[in-house]
Amino acid sequence: MPFLAGGPRVSRLVREPHRDAVAYARESIGREIARRRRAARLSQAAVAARANIRVETLSRLENGHSNPTTKTVRAILHAVGG
């Protein structure tokens, strides 16, 4: 059955099969970091300072342009209270 407008949402990974799983995961992590930072009402500069990383690093992560280490993700989540 073809996908109909207004029907169930289809993930970006399914709609764009040329995208690899690593890129999809990297972008998903970045979106979640940005969502949590905004929910905590913190600027990128504040989170970067708390996580002891550069603002540029946080920006690249949030935009899905960098592969974060688990250590960095943990530091960011701790910085935003998660």
> What confidence tens digit (pLDDT) does each residue in 17-29 have?
666 888 899 999 9
* 63 or 9, higher pLDDT: 63
- pLDDT at residue 14 in the model: 54
Longest dimension (CA), the chain: 50
Q: Does domain 12-79 have CATH number 3.40.50.2000?
A: no
Q: Is the dihedral of CA 74, 30, 15, 7 positive or negative?
A: positive
Residues 44 and 62: beta-carbon distance below 8 Å: yes
Percentage of the chain lying above the pLDDT 70 cut:
77
Confidence grade of residue 16 (pLDDT, cut at 50, 70, 90): low
Residues 80 and 40: beta-carbon distance below 8 Å: yes
- pLDDT at residue 80 in the model: 96
The token pair that represents 70 in the structure block = 């688990």
Instruction: List the domain boundaries for the chain.
Output: 12-79
Instruction: Record the pTM.
Output: 0.74
